[in-house]
């Protein structure tokens, strides 16, 4: 089932979860245990990320297949075109189709670490707009999501230019958008207003990351280029050696963030689970 058809028929916000492909066999066992625990929450869909530069391709695909077939949850594969030419991309998409995956989030991807600017593969694509256009032109019948950036993509000089490019990405055949993680809802609301002004009317689902450790904050701040309120950092810094207090403050923060978004009529909430069930279970219990 195409996710866009499912989520636009709901008379409520949609809820979805994101997993990543583990590096070890133990990680795999843990992941499927987590999927089983979260299955009880009836997510509207789940997604599985794609390692940098396509490094987890086979694993991403096989996890998607297993979750969809064995747990009966609509599963979307992340897919990036960095380092791939058209023939390679076509082959990968055919593989996804063959295993029954009907939804992908089509992304450009990032250049390998410390190599600077994104370089187009000589037979590939410069951005996700070109990738999505290709998927549609080749006649693949995937439901297609794309990424968007409440605090703008780092390659874009201004938020206005980023949203103009986002509109082109949508016009090439995107069904709905998932955002980069963010911690300040005001940035998301400003982005939504700018998107609307640019004629963007498809569903935009915020991606929300629960905070599970102090070191994680800095890592994701750098990785995702997002701002984190100073007051939150100060509060968490004070309790970083006290796991119970840390958990309480971080959980409160995420629950309040989600509640505020839901009160402001967001289309849904996409939770980055980090392959753990506890935070997701607690957050959902308090916001649903
Ligand atoms: C929800 C989400 C999930 C992600 N999952 C993964 C994952 O699983 N694996 C992974 O490796 N990475 C993932 N990423 C990271 C992503 O690969 C990087 O952020 C990458 O730098 C950009 O990918 P994109 O598809 O958003 O790029 P694009 O949409 O191509 O944007 C990149 C730059 O190109 C510009 N641009 C886009 N279209 C045009 C156009 N038509 N003309 C001119 N400029 C244009 C944009 O404004 C932007 O500045 C994810 C990101 C998000 C938001």
Annotated active-site positions, please?
18
Per-residue model confidence (pLDDT) at position 37: 97
Query: Structure pTM?
Result: 0.97
Residue 66's CB is within 10 A of a number of other CB atoms, namely 17
List, in sequence order, every beta strand (DSSP E) within 33-117.
45-48, 75-80, 103-107
Share of the chain above pLDDT 70, in %: 100
Predicted confidence band at 115 (pLDDT cuts at 50, 70, 90)? confident
Question: Which residue ranges form the domains of the chain, and what is each CATH number?
Answer: 3-287 (3.20.20.220)
Per-residue model confidence (pLDDT) at position 278: 94
Per-residue model confidence (pLDDT) at position 77: 98
Distance (Å, whole) CA 244 – CA 277: 17
Mean pLDDT of the chain: 96
Predicted confidence band at 112 (pLDDT cuts at 50, 70, 90)? confident
Q: Which of 153, 159, 206 is nearest to 18 (CA)?
A: 206
Q: Which atom of ligand 1 is nearest to the CA of 154?
A: 49
Distance (Å, whole) CA 25 – CA 63: 12
* Residue 129, ligand 1, Cβ within 6 A: yes
Mean pLDDT of 129-143: 98
pLDDT in tens, 166-210: 999 999 999 999 999 999 999 999 999 999 999 999 999 999 999
From 127, 182, 273, mutation site for ligand 1 pocket: most ligand atoms within 8 A of C-beta: 127
* Residue 47, ligand 1, Cβ within 6 A: no
Contact 148, 179 (CB under 8 A): yes
Per-residue model confidence (pLDDT) at position 288: 87
pLDDT in tens, 227-248: 999 999 999 999 999 999 999 9
Per-residue model confidence (pLDDT) at position 219: 83
Spacing, Cα 1 to ligand 1 middle (Å): 25
Strand order in the sheet with 204-205: 204-205, 176-179, 143-148, 103-107, 75-80, 45-48, 14-19, 268-272, 207-208
pLDDT of 156 > 90? The answer is yes
Give Cβ neighbours of residue 24 (< 8 Å, ≥ 6 apart): none
pLDDT of 217 > 90? The answer is no
Q: What is the CA radius of gyration of the chain?
A: 18
pLDDT in tens, 10-27: 999 999 999 999 999 999
Predicted confidence band at 74 (pLDDT cuts at 50, 70, 90)? very high
Residues comprising the chain, all counted:
288
As given in the structure block, the two tokens for residue 263 are 């009160």
Contact 208, 257 (CB under 8 A): yes
pLDDT of 222 > 80? The answer is no
* Residue 3, ligand 1, Cβ within 6 A: no
């Amino acid at each position: 089932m195409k996710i866009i058809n499912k989520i636009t028929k709901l008379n409520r916000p949609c809820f979805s979860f994101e997993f990543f492909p583990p590096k070890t066999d133990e990680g795999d066992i843990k992941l499927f245990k987590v999927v089983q625990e979260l299955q009880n929450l009836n997510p509207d869909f789940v997604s599985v990320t794609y390692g940098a530069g396509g490094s987890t391709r086979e694993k991403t695909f096989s996890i998607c297949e297993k979750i969809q077939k064995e747990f009966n949850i609509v599963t979307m594969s992340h897919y990036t075109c960095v380092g791939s030419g058209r023939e390679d991309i076509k082959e990968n998409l055919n593989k996804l189709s063959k295993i029954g995956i009907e939804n992908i989030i089509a992304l450009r991807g990032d250049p390998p670490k410390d190599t600077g600017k994104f370089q187009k593969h000589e037979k590939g694509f410069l951005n996700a707009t070109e990738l999505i256009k290709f998927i549609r032109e080749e006649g693949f019948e995937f439901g297609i999501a794309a990424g968007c950036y409440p605090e703008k993509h780092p390659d874009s000089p201004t938020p206005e230019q980023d949203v103009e490019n986002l509109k082109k990405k949508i016009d090439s055949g995107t069904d709905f958008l998932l955002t980069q993680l963010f911690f300040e809802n005001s940035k998301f609301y400003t982005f939504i207003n700018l998107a609307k002004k640019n004629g963007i009317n498809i569903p935009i689902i915020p991606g929300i990351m629960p905070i599970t450790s102090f070191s994680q904050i800095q890592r994701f701040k750098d990785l995702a280029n997002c701002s984190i309120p100073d007051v939150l950092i100060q509060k968490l810094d004070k309790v970083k050696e006290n796991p119970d207090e840390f958990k309480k403050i971080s959980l409160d923060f995420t629950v309040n963030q989600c509640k505020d978004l839901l009160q402001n009529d967001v289309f849904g909430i996409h939770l980055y689970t980090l392959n753990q069930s506890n935070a997701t279970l607690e957050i959902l219990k308090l916001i649903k």
